Amino acid sequence: MTRKKRKSKVKRVTNETNISIDLTLDGKGKGDIRTGIGFLDHMLTLFSKHGQFDLKVRAKGDLAVDRHHTNEDVGICLGAAFKKALGKKIGIRRYGYSFVPMDEALANTRVVLDISGRPSLFFNSKIKRSPPAEYTLQDAKEFLRAFSTNSGVNMHVDVLRGEDTHHIIEAVFKAAARALREAVSIDKRAKGIPSTKGKL
């Protein structure tokens, strides 16, 4: 018996942004990303590839002001898309973790997460501030906070080492993707919702 692919579509329109997302959890890693923020496009393409999610993102935002609204709202929509695609979360593994090195950035970006329905983000980095750039470590943190809040995921990100901000952020997005890939995967031995409460 072939399991139906878990898919979702989310659209969000505000005075600041216009965003649409198509997501397939059980995909092949095909990314088609256009946010207007080049670095975020790159990160979400990597996220799609390493999570094996098919992901299409279209975003228009007030980039003449800055990237904050677009970055955050894409995170909001992606989180909502994951939550919608997961449905009742029957049979999922629920927990996921990943360690990803990126050259000197053993940003061992350790990402550990729980699709618990109790959203939170704990982001720990010895690099407190990244230098001004098209996309900073703070931007990545705010994106993941928006994602966690709207997906119902409890996520812990630990950047253990690194010097190049690009490498660190790339390791973070890859590790998040791989941890999510594990957490949303179906455990064939499991029955029902993976909680003694009977609900996530």
pTM of the complete model beyond 0.85 = yes
62 within a domain of the structure (yes/no): yes
Q: What is the mean pLDDT of residues 153-157?
A: 96
- Give the CA distances from residue 145 to residues 41, 64, 140, in Å, rounded to whole numbers and listed in that order: 18, 23, 9
Number of independent structural domains in the chain: 1
Query: pLDDT, tens digit, for every residue of 175-194?
Result: 999 999 999 999 999 888 88
Domain that holds residue 75: 7-184
The CATH number for 176's domain is 3.30.230.40
Query: pLDDT, tens digit, for every residue of 51-73?
Result: 999 999 999 999 999 999 999 99
Backbone angles phi, psi at 72, to 5 degrees: -65, -45
